[in-house]
Every structure is written in C-alpha cells, then in structure tokens.
Amino acid sequence: MVPLSHYLALGAVVFVIGAAGVLMRRNAIIILMSIELMLNAVNITLVGFSRQWGDLTGQVLAIFVITVAAAEAAVGLAILISLNRDRSVLNVDEVNLLKW
Amino acid sequence: MPLVIPDISLSIAAPEVGLAILICVVVVADLFTSMENKAGMGILSLAGVAILGLIVLFQWGGGVRTTFSGFYIADNFSSFVKMVVVVTTAFTILLSLQYAKMEKINYGEFYVMILFAVFGMLVMASGNDLISIYLGLETMSISSYVLVSFIRHDPLSREAGLKYFLMGAFTSGILLYGIALTYGLTGATSLTEIAKALSGLQGAAIIADPVMVFSLILFVAGFGFKLALVPFHMWLPDAYTGAPTSITAFMSVAVKMATLAAVIRVFFIAFPALAGKWNLLLWLLTVFTMVWGNVAAIAQTNLKRMLAYSSIAHAGYIMLGIVTTTKIVGGKVVFTPDGISAVLFYLVAYMVTNLGAFGMLIYLCREDFRGDNIEDWRGIGQDHPWAGMAFVVFFLSLGGFPPTAGFVGKLFLFGTAIQNEYYWLAVIGILASAVSIYYYFRVVMVMYMEPRGESQPAIEFSKAPSIFVALLVLVLATIYLGLFPGSIIAAAKSSVAGLL
C-alpha cells in the first residue's frame, strides 16, 4: 500500500509546479494549463486524505473539483478565443490596454 | 453498509429552488423572443427576482434550520445576506434594461448569467460546509467571468475578462488547497465539525501544526483575492473598468456581500480556535487595503476606475468590522456581535450608495459616448443641477458625511473599533477616509466649478424611465438610511444574534 505521505508529497510538488507556472509563464494557455495542474494536485491530496480517514467526503469534493475545472476551462477558452478574434495575442504581457 | 437516505427539505432551500426554476424559465423564454424584444427577458427576470425577494423575506425569523445533510443552513444571517443580494440584482437589472441596448449586449443570456451568479451567491450565503461554499463561490465566479467579458466587440471588456478569469481561477486553486489541507487535518468539511475537531486537547495539537497555519494562510489569501484586499487586489481595477457598468455595480456589491458571508461563516464558525492567528493576518490586510485603496484612487482620471479603487478602500472598512469583532478578554478570545452587525449595516449603506454612483455613469452613457472620464462631467452641476445633486449625495455617502447612509455605517464601524480597543485601526481608518474626501470632492469640483469645454459633446442624460426610477430610489434610500437607520440596524443585530 502506498503510504499517505507519498500522495501528499506528489500533491504538494504538482501544486507548486502549477503555481510557479501561473506566476512565471506568459502564455495564457500555459497559464490555464498550470491552473489545471493546481486543481489536480488538490484532487490528489483530497483523495489521499480521503483514504487515510476512510470517509468519502474528500472523494466527493474531488469529483466536484473536476466538474468545476471543466466549466472553468470552457469559459476560459471562450474568453481567450474572443480575445484572439481580431488580434493574435497569447502573451499576457501584451494584454495591456488597462493599466494601473 | 446500510443505505442512508439523506434529509432533504426543499422548502428550507426555497430561494435557491425558486431561482433555479426562474433560470430555466428565462432560458426557455429567451428562445422564443426576437432580438428586438430581449429587454423583455430583463423584465421577466426582474419579476422573478421580486418574487424571490418575497420568498427570502418570508424565511426571515424562521430560526436556524439545516438541510442537505448539513450542507445548507437557513438562518437570519443568510436571509439578510440574500436580501441584500436580491435587492442589488433587482437594481442591476433595472439599470441594465436600456444600457444593454446601448452597449449592444442586449441578449437574453446577459440576464441569465446574472441569475446564475445570484444562484451561486445564495448558496454561499447558506453554505454550512466547505464543499457547498466552494461550489457557490465557483458558480458565482464563473458567471461573473462571462459577465465581465460580455461586451465582445470591446477590447477593454475582453481584456478585463481574461485578467479576471486568470486571477480568479488561480485563486480558487489556492483556496481549494487550503480546503484540502484542512480536511486532511480535521477529517471534516462541515464547518461545525471542523470547529469540533479543532477544540479540546486533540484540537490543540492540530492548531500547533504548522500545516494548519499554512492552510489558514491559504484561506486568507484565497478569500483576500476574491474580496480584492491589498496586496491581492491587482485584478479589480482592470476588471471593474472593462466590465459593462451595470455589471461593475453588481459585482462591487453582490459579489462582495456573498464572499463576505462565506468569510464570516468560515472564520467565525469553523476556525474560532485560530482566531488569534487569522485576526492578525486580516488586521494587516485591512490596514494595507484602506491605505492603498484610497491613495491609488487619487491618481485616477477615469471615474469608473476611481470608483473601482474606492471600492477596494471600502472593502478595507468592511474588513475592519470583521477584525474588530474579535476581542481579547483576559487572554481569551471573545467574539462581540457588534462588529459583524456593523459590517452588515455598512454593506446595506454601501449597496445603495455604490449602485447609485455607478448608476450615474450609466445615466450619462450614450451609444457614442461612454462618459466615464472625470472631465466628461464638467459643467454638469451648472447645467443639470438635479443630476449633479444626486451625484453629490452619493459622493457624500461614499466619503462618510451626514446625513447619508455612509456616515452612519462608518460611525458604527469605527465606533466598534474604538469600543473593542482597536485604536490604531480606527485612527488609520479615519485618516484613510479623510484622504478619500479629496478625490470624491475633486469630481464634485469638476462638476460645479469647471465650465464645459468647447470640444466636449453636449450633456444628454438617458431618457429611459427605468434608470431614472432606479436612481431616484437609490438617492432617497441613501438619505433615508442616514436619517432613520434604526430598522436596518435592528435587522443586522438580530441576524448576527443566532450566528456567533
């Protein structure tokens, strides 16, 4: 059996990779992917804890998170497409009409 | 394993059920409406929201009831929050009816998305479990991403939507990790169960765990982003400037109100054992927010953006009420209900004022002229004294002058701060709000002292009766709450009474 600490360590590492991706990468789609990484790291953590405690609440929340992530990706990609209609911008540094 | 049938009582969750039905009705009715008559969807939603208000009012005073296996709670606090959200929605729809036509966003989906966001807010107000609070928060946020970027043909709106979306999604990740860690340490997601796990000897061991403190920081950061507390405020000015103005008004009141309800429940119900720690964190954020919100607003030339920064500052005053609820008596943490009831009253005052201020921007807006720069308001006080006076009333209330609602709200907030011995916080808050008078009255000066320029288009206010009625009611409400705040204060007090 895989001990809890493995789940938690994997979750923490993936979460940090995701958070670092959001803060450091400048491509909007990669930022979106990094956010998904963060959410999946949370899911790993939740499922690990759920197994540890022997109750299903964590797994229920994990399924909700997956659903919400799907909705979020749909809306996010739609916003990106509408932003790209007239000018091809993926770099978030170029999205700078509004400042300060 | 025995099959347990969960207790589900739909009548307790009547507002949400009713709203879900309303959303379905509007979605279907939208299919049979021609493009010219889409304002009808707004009127349909308005009628539905009015009925929703009655349902919420009917629930007031019904005692504390939970359903959906403890996921959902109905008490006076949730009814109060829902009432504010519903009234805000009604005014937003009134202000949108003609504005949506001008901005060419007159689709049925516009009203549907507003209602979806309201659904999330209602769930948040009644959330008694981290799962339901999270789901409500996401329903609200995802709908607001769409609403912010709704003016598809306007690059500003799309950009605002992207920024709001990226920051918002990042934030939910942070908040979720906090939820996951809390679940891991306490084995529960229900707010009362978490509080139980954190109390006693076993709880003392969990509280001392650095992971618990880390998860608390994630909670503060996550909610701080949603409430736009400095230093987590970067998205707000952009999102508020780019969004359709009626949506800006909606978000600045309703989104804040719902998030605050969740914050109050999570921190006061689930984490009272950690009050010393989160109180310190929130104290720092409150000071930063009050100071920076007001200072940054001074430099703005765009009125909408200035009001956005001012709403950051107001979030700071509201957090001041949350912080000052905690009092330390003889080394023990005690919650005094005055702070939260002051917050609730302030939010009502802020609702009528801020909806009015953004409503004035909509009032001036025309198809070829947005009028959201400060200099667009030159000479309006001389040419249109009544409209000018209305705006002055809203600015007086935002700045906290008697006899307006904002004055009574600030009086209560700072009064609680002094009463519970938060002298520094009160001093910083009063100084910060003195700074705010400067930038509010600069607009008043532009309106009354500066003549209209030769090249500026003539002033022509919107002729829509819906906007006029909404603004008239808001002006009167702002003054009324300043003169006779008693009934709302009593309601705020009784809604907190069952909470703490």
> Which residues fall within 8 angstroms of residue A70, CB to CB, at 6 or more apart?
none
Domain of residue A59, CATH code: 1.10.287.3510
Q: Classify residue A83: in a domain, yes or no.
A: yes
What is the nearest CA distance from A1 to chain B, expressed in angstroms? 19
Total count of domains within chain A: 1
Contact status of B188 with chain A (Cβ, < 8 Å):
yes
| Stretch B448-467: mean pLDDT | 86
Q: pLDDT by residue (tens digit) across B461-473?
A: 888 899 999 999 9
Is residue A90 predicted with pLDDT exceeding 80?
no
Q: pLDDT by residue (tens digit) across B90-130?
A: 999 999 999 999 888 999 999 999 999 999 999 999 999 99
* Mean predicted lDDT score pLDDT of chain B: 92
* Among A79-88, B22-31, B389-398, B437-446, the least confident range: A79-88
Q: Classify residue A94: in a domain, yes or no.
A: no
Token pair recorded at residue A6 = 């493995």
Q: pLDDT by residue (tens digit) across B409-434?
A: 999 999 999 999 899 999 999 999 99
Is residue B260 predicted with pLDDT exceeding 60?
yes
B342 near B321, Cβ under 8 Å? Answer: yes
What is Dmax (Cα atoms) for chain A? 54
Is residue B227 predicted with pLDDT exceeding 90?
yes
Q: What percent of chain B has pLDDT over 90?
A: 75
Binned at pLDDT 50, 70 and 90, residue B1 comes out as low
Q: From the list B149, B166, B173, which residue is nearest A82 (CB)?
A: B149
Asked if the peptide bond before residue B403 counts as cis, ω within 30 degrees of 0, the response is yes
What is Dmax (Cα atoms) for chain B? 81
Q: From the list A61, A76, A98, which residue is nearest B169 (CB)?
A: A76
- Cβ separation of A79 and B158 shorter than 8 Å? yes
Task: Residue A75: list chain B partners with CB under 8 A.
Answer: 142, 145-146, 165
| Stretch B335-354: mean pLDDT | 94
Q: What is the dihedral of CA B73, B78, B79, B83, to 10 degrees?
A: -140
Binned at pLDDT 50, 70 and 90, residue B499 comes out as confident
Q: Classify residue A61: in a domain, yes or no.
A: yes
Q: What percent of chain A has pLDDT over 70?
A: 93
Q: pLDDT by residue (tens digit) across B302-319?
A: 999 999 999 999 999 999
Q: pLDDT by residue (tens digit) across B274-299?
A: 988 999 999 999 999 999 999 999 99
Binned at pLDDT 50, 70 and 90, residue A86 comes out as low
Is residue B213 predicted with pLDDT exceeding 70?
yes
| Stretch A70-76: mean pLDDT | 94
Q: How many CB atoms lie within 10 A of CB B493?
A: 17
What is the nearest CA distance from B106 to chain A, expressed in angstroms? 18
B420 near B414, Cβ under 8 Å? Answer: no
Chain A, nearest residue to B240 by Cα = A98
Q: pLDDT by residue (tens digit) across B30-45?
A: 999 998 888 899 999 9
Chain A contact residues (CB < 8 Å to B): 8, 11, 15, 18-19, 22, 28, 31-32, 35, 38-39, 41-42, 45-46, 48-49, 52-53, 55, 57-58, 60-61, 64-65, 68, 71-72, 75-76, 78-80, 82-83, 86, 92, 95, 97-98, 100
Give pLDDT, residue B457.
82
Is residue B347 predicted with pLDDT exceeding 70?
yes
| Stretch B323-347: mean pLDDT | 88
Q: Would you tell me which residues 360-389 of chain B have a C-beta closer than 8 angstroms to some C-beta of chain A?
A: none
- Cβ separation of A79 and B162 shorter than 8 Å? yes
Task: Residue B159: list chain A partners with CB under 8 A.
Answer: 83, 95, 97-98
Q: How many CB atoms lie within 10 A of CB B58?
A: 12
- Cβ separation of B184 and A71 shorter than 8 Å? no
| Amino acid letter, B316 | G
Q: pLDDT by residue (tens digit) across B47-98?
A: 999 999 999 999 998 888 998 888 999 999 999 999 999 999 999 999 999 9
Give which of B389, B390, B361 is closest to B377, Cα–Cα.
B361
Is residue A97 predicted with pLDDT exceeding 80?
no
Q: Which of A16, A25, A79, A93 to mutate to test the interface with B (most CBs of B within 10 A)?
A: A79
Residue B311 to residue B293: CA distance in whole angstroms: 8
- Cβ separation of B179 and A61 shorter than 8 Å? yes
Q: Would you tell me which residues 108-167 of chain B have a C-beta closer than 8 angstroms to some C-beta of chain A?
A: 130-131, 134-135, 138, 142, 145-146, 149, 152, 155-156, 158-163, 165-166
* Among A26-30, B177-181, B216-220, B425-429, the least confident range: A26-30
Task: Residue B145: list chain A partners with CB under 8 A.
Answer: 75-76, 79
Give pLDDT, residue B405.
95
Is residue A34 predicted with pLDDT exceeding 90?
yes
- Cβ separation of B189 and A61 shorter than 8 Å? yes
> Which residues fall within 8 angstroms of residue A54, CB to CB, at 6 or more apart?
none
Pairing of strands B332-335, B326-329: antiparallel
Is residue A12 predicted with pLDDT exceeding 90?
yes
Token pair recorded at residue B99 = 């504005």
Give pLDDT, residue B264.
95
Domain that holds residue A55: 4-87
What's the half-sphere exposure (Cβ side, CA atoms, 13 Å) at A68?
Answer: 29
Give pLDDT, residue A87.
65
- Cα dist. B143→B118, B140, B165, B221, B289 in Å? 9, 5, 10, 22, 26
SS3 A91: strand
- Cβ separation of B173 and A100 shorter than 8 Å? no
B406 near B349, Cβ under 8 Å? Answer: yes
Q: From the list B163, B173, B183, which residue is nearest A35 (CB)?
A: B173
Give pLDDT, residue B62.
84
Q: What percent of chain B has pLDDT over 70?
A: 100
Q: Which of B129, B141, B151, B177 to mutate to test the interface with A (most CBs of A within 10 A)?
A: B177
What is the nearest CA distance from A71 to chain B, expressed in angstroms? 8
Q: Could you identify the residue written with the tokens 């963060």?
A: A38
- Cβ separation of B165 and A79 shorter than 8 Å? yes
| Stretch B137-155: mean pLDDT | 94
Task: Residue A53: list chain B partners with CB under 8 A.
Answer: 187
Give pLDDT, residue B459.
81
Give pLDDT, residue A88.
66
**Where is pLDDT greater, at A83 or A18?**
A18
What is the nearest CA distance from B97 to chain A, expressed in angstroms? 24
Residue B417 to residue B179: CA distance in whole angstroms: 30
Give pLDDT, residue A89.
64
Q: From the list B138, B159, B160, which residue is nearest A68 (CB)?
A: B138
Residue B22 to residue B9: CA distance in whole angstroms: 19
Binned at pLDDT 50, 70 and 90, residue A67 comes out as very high
